[in-house]
Amino acid sequence: MPARTGRPPKISRADIVSAAHRLIEAEGTESLTMRRLAREVGTTPMALYHHVHDKEELLLLLLDDYAAAMSRPVLPDEPGERMAAAAIAMHEALAGVPWIVDVLRADDLLSVNALWYPETIIDAAVRAGLPLERAVDAYRIIWHYTAGEITARAAALRRREEGRPTYRRQVFAALDAEALPRLAEVGGRWEELTARDTYGEGLRALVAGLLLKGLATGGPSVKRSGPDDQMD
Amino acid sequence: MPARTGRPPKISRADIVSAAHRLIEAEGTESLTMRRLAREVGTTPMALYHHVHDKEELLLLLLDDYAAAMSRPVLPDEPGERMAAAAIAMHEALAGVPWIVDVLRADDLLSVNALWYPETIIDAAVRAGLPLERAVDAYRIIWHYTAGEITARAAALRRREEGRPTYRRQVFAALDAEALPRLAEVGGRWEELTARDTYGEGLRALVAGLLLKGLATGGPSVKRSGPDDQMD
DNA sequence: CTAGATTTTTGTACGCGTATAGAAAGTAGC
DNA sequence: GCTACTTTCTATACGCGTACAAAAATCTAG
């Protein structure tokens, strides 16, 4: 036994995280505040800060737990479909976490238990014939798209809940049809059109485009390393 | 003269917005707080709330001014390139605004003076042969990608400024090479690889994919409305 | 001149994340 | 048992966005 020194801890990181889970479960995302959480754990707010660096780190820990519990989809063999399937799984996992928006600013999804997603996407991209560097690029691009979609989705949800006058109505009302004919053409249908879920379509388009020419950078086509090519 | 009633206003919306501009210019984004701004304008914090609904609306007003001042790029004729050029211009405009992240949650970029971007992208998509609904979808997909990239960019910048131990180092250090071979293969190069700017590549891939089959939804190809087809 | 009515401004207060300083509660060396 | 040292926890405080209530300053009607 290594015999620890110092004042013995009253609470642990795990205590905090599980209390946070309980709190969210019982009273919703909004009530997860450091003060409220401290009460739940039975300490002072500042005591928490000895176990987590800040609230964002706490949320990342929660996300990590969440990611660990996620089931993984069966993956198709065809590389493009495989990339898409993994990305869609990632998207679904994230879309279910209400406080996700506060965490998306943190890092490119590097919660340890979520690493399966980038791993799988990058691997599939390599299988599709991209060199490793390009595969990493492809993953990041997919990640940006996914994170952006999730953010917009959360924002739309929030807006719907708040029921504020949407601002868009106002915009479309005073729209100059000469200068902006297409938007004028869409007109009141904007709300309806933008309520639809287009993540899948966008993702498939993105994957197709990424694999089209090996993510060409302006130069000629790029070397392939796999036998799976079927485009061109 | 319509003769107004009620206590005469001491400040106006325009006063507030221009003071906010001054403040940001002089002391940086962080010092734009409602309290500090009130001091700058010469009122109490709560007086501001009679002219703007909340801080987010204030930021949107700032963004609108900013967008009005942006110069617009010359657009190529070829529809795909035209979409890309407009999107890149939009991206550049946004990337220059440091507090942009606080605003991206608001709406799909519908500040009145920024409407030129969606208009142009949608119009180019229609010219490329997409039906209007699909063109709107295409714009939104591009928007999600763009917003996500901007968010990630801002987060990376912030991380670099703070100089925190990045968390990624820690992740890659304790990485299970059996379960995550591709990530292990990338290893320490992650930092370097993800520091590169891939927005343009991603965007071109996305546009190519979107125009490839008229944004197919799983069914057969979609009707075209223009004479500009050149793929298939 | 006075009594609403209306609009804007002010004052006070709440809960938030968290910086900082110091008290509490242990172990280790003497 | 006393003193140092280490770790953890507590107390206090700051600035933030903003809800809510009351006050101030104007117009209109009688």
DSSP H helical segments within B43-131, as ranges? 45-48, 55-69, 79-95, 116-127
Interface residue A149 vs chain B (CB under 8 A): yes
Burial B83-94 (b: 16+ CB within 10 A, else e): bbbbbbbbbebb
CA angle A177, A180, A183 (to 5 degrees): 90
Closest residue to C6 measured CA to C1′: B6
A165–chain B nearest CA distance, Å: 12
CA nearest to B202 within chain A: A141
CA nearest B223: which of B131, B122, B123, B124?
B131
CA angle A112, A64, A104 (to 5 degrees): 90
Q: Cβ(B137)–Cβ(B215) under 8 Å?
A: yes
CA distance B24 to B92: 20
CB-to-strand D under 7 Å, chain A 27-86: 43-47, 50-51
CA distance A86 to A120: 7
CA nearest A200: which of B148, B218, B228?
B218
**Along the 232 residues of chain A, how does pLDDT read in single tens digits?**
456 788 999 999 999 999 999 999 999 999 999 999 999 999 999 999 999 999 999 999 999 999 999 999 999 999 999 999 999 999 999 998 989 988 888 777 778 899 999 999 999 999 999 999 999 999 999 999 999 999 999 988 888 877 766 677 777 887 889 999 999 999 889 989 999 999 999 999 999 999 987 444 443 333 334 334 333 3
Q: Is the CB of A5 under 7 A from strand D?
A: yes
Does pTM surpass 0.85? yes
CA distance A114 to A68: 7
